[in-house]
């Protein structure tokens, strides 16, 4: 009898010492286990907690749906191309093609967060490309500013962007009309100055960098990553970043709270133009030539990338990570369509459908009193 009682007491102590699973509000907690570290219940609870934490982080990041969409897109094309889509050479192509649209989208999305829109992308890029042709070494003139071409081109783009901001804030012209008009003005100026000619670039010092790789990753893709991380940190960690979302959320309320709305808008338009200028430089160096038409067909992919990434056109929602990821999704989609030999016209239809669907999913209808 004593032996039975001792065995019963020993078993009870073991059960008390093992991991206890408690559920409080749907959260699984594991109490300390002093007896064994190989409890199936403990392992199950650890997996459950990890999954919930991962889900919570994805929800807070604001890119969970976009990552899921990217996985679906890549999965479908991987099956459709029998694995060719996921080959490393093709992934390098996707990263390389994503870089410049991502840089443009990172600049554009900041204006969208304010609740505006910037349609001057193509005009600013065209003007900056023409200046690259004038300032870089070519067969038509002896000008060669070397690496100074980087800050000069970015500065020209930034100046054009600031003019957009001044027209929007001081003359109270809606950003849609303001930037659309500026795009045509700058594009016409670029064609007039360059006389519509193509300027071949000779021995540009940036050629090796623009077309280079680091550990198999394109240099321009790394540049895009650095830029989106820098902008994202500013948006998340600085007062200026908070001002962006305050203006995008409710401009009148932000002004009442002491936010200098006009100054913030001018800076944001200027920064966006700076990003367009950098993109223009990279495009010219990548093509080894400078011509005004280089800026053509850049606006639609940029706007699509911004909306697909989850940046609401009504303002106040999204971030640099959304814009960069949106550019990656759009590029991955187009690359897959090309590998499947889909007609270019059908590709345009697909991209248009994606844009409409993205806007429908991200727009904040509470801010719209009525739709015209």
CB neighbours of 33 closer than 8 A, spacing ≥ 6? Answer: 17, 18, 19, 39, 42
Please answer whether residues 325 and 63 qualify as being in contact, where contact means their C-beta atoms are separated by less than 8 angstroms: yes
What is the per-residue pLDDT for 28?
Answer: 46
Please answer whether residues 120 and 160 qualify as being in contact, where contact means their C-beta atoms are separated by less than 8 angstroms: yes
Is the pLDDT at 339 greater than 70? The verdict is yes
**Architecture in CATH of 65-367:** Orthogonal Bundle (1.10)
Q: Which two tokens stand for residue 370?
A: 């009525």
Handedness of CA 150, 136, 102, 262 (dihedral sign): positive
* Per-residue pLDDT reduced to its tens digit, 317-329: 888 999 999 999 9
CB pairs under 8 A, 24+ apart, for 170-178?
170/262, 175/111, 175/116, 175/117, 175/118, 176/116, 176/117, 176/119
**Among candidate residues 142, 154, 133, the one with its CA nearest the CA of residue 284:** 133
Domain layout of the chain by residue ranges? 2-55, 65-367
* Per-residue pLDDT reduced to its tens digit, 137-181: 887 877 788 889 999 999 999 999 999 999 999 999 999 999 999
**Among candidate residues 322, 306, 321, the one with its CA nearest the CA of residue 118:** 306
Is the pLDDT at 344 greater than 90? The verdict is no
Cα–Cα distance for residue pair 226/139, rounded to 1 Å: 34
Cα–Cα distance for residue pair 344/89, rounded to 1 Å: 22
Please answer whether residues 213 and 153 qualify as being in contact, where contact means their C-beta atoms are separated by less than 8 angstroms: no
| Secondary structure in 3-state letters for 315-335 | CCCCCHHHHHHHHHHHHHHHH
**Among candidate residues 35, 32, 43, 30, the one with its CA nearest the CA of residue 15:** 35
Buried b (16+ CB within 10 A) or exposed e, 155-186: bbbbbbbbbbbbbbbeeebebeebbbbbbeeb
Cα distances (angstroms) measured from residue 204 to each of 99, 134, 146, 348: 20, 13, 8, 34
Residue 123's pLDDT band (boundaries 50, 70, 90)? very high
DSSP 197: -
pTM of the shown model: 0.82
* Per-residue pLDDT reduced to its tens digit, 276-301: 999 999 999 998 888 888 888 899 99
Cα–Cα distance for residue pair 282/38, rounded to 1 Å: 56
Q: Pairing state of beta strands 21-24 and 199-200?
A: unpaired
Cα 86 → chain centroid: 22
* Per-residue pLDDT reduced to its tens digit, 177-209: 999 999 999 999 999 988 888 888 888 888 889
CA angle 79, 92, 89 (to 5 degrees): 65
Is the pLDDT at 26 greater than 50? The verdict is no
Cα distances (angstroms) measured from residue 69 to each of 37, 253, 311, 329: 38, 35, 15, 8
Region 221-237 average pLDDT:
94
Q: Rounded to the nearest 10 degrees, what angle do helices 121-135 and 299-308 cross at?
A: 130
Q: Which two tokens stand for residue 71?
A: 């996985």
> CB count, 10 Å around CB of 294?
25
Is the pLDDT at 1 greater than 90? The verdict is no
CB neighbours of 268 closer than 8 A, spacing ≥ 6? Answer: 110, 111, 114, 165, 244
What is the per-residue pLDDT for 111?
Answer: 95
Please answer whether residues 299 and 196 qualify as being in contact, where contact means their C-beta atoms are separated by less than 8 angstroms: no
């Amino acid at each position: 009898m004593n032996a039975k009682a001792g065995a019963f007491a020993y078993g009870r102590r073991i059960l008390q010492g093992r991991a206890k699973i408690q559920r409080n509000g749907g959260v699984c907690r594991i109490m300390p286990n002093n007896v064994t570290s190989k409890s199936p219940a403990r392992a199950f609870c650890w997996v459950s907690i990890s999954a919930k934490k991962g889900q919570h982080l994805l929800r807070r990041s604001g890119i969970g749906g976009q990552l899921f969409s990217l996985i679906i897109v890549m999965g479908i094309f991987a099956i459709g191309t029998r694995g060719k889509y996921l080959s490393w050479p093709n992934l390098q192509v996707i990263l390389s093609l994503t870089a410049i649209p991502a840089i443009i989208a990172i600049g554009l999305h900041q204006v969208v967060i304010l609740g505006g829109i910037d349609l001057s992308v193509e005009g600013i890029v065209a003007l900056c490309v023409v200046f690259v042709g004038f300032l870089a070494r070519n067969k038509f003139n002896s000008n060669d500013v070397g690496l100074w071409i980087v800050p000069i081109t970015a500065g020209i783009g930034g100046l054009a962007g600031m003019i957009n901001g001044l027209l929007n804030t001081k003359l109270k012209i809606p950003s849609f009309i303001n930037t659309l008009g500026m795009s045509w003005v700058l594009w016409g100026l670029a064609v007039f100055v360059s006389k519509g000619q193509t300027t071949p670039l000779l021995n540009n010092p940036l050629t090796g960098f623009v077309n280079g790789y680091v550990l198999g990753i394109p240099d321009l893709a790394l540049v895009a990553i650095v830029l989106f991380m820098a902008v994202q940190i500013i948006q998340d960690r600085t007062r200026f970043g908070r001002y962006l979302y305050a203006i995008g959320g409710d401009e009148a309320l932000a002004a009442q709270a002491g936010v200098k709305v006009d100054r913030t808008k001018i800076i944001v338009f200027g920064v966006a133009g700076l990003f367009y200028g950098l993109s223009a430089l990279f495009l010219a160096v990548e093509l080894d030539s400078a011509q005004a038409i280089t800026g053509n067909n850049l606006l639609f992919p940029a706007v699509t990338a911004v909306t697909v990434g989850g940046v609401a056109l009504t303002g106040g929602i999204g971030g640099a990570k959304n814009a960069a990821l949106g550019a990656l999704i759009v590029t991955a989609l187009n690359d897959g369509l090309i590998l499947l030999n889909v007609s270019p016209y059908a590709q345009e239809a697909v991209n248009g459908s994606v844009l409409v669907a993205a806007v429908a999913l991200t727009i904040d209808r509470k801010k719209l009193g009525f739709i015209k």
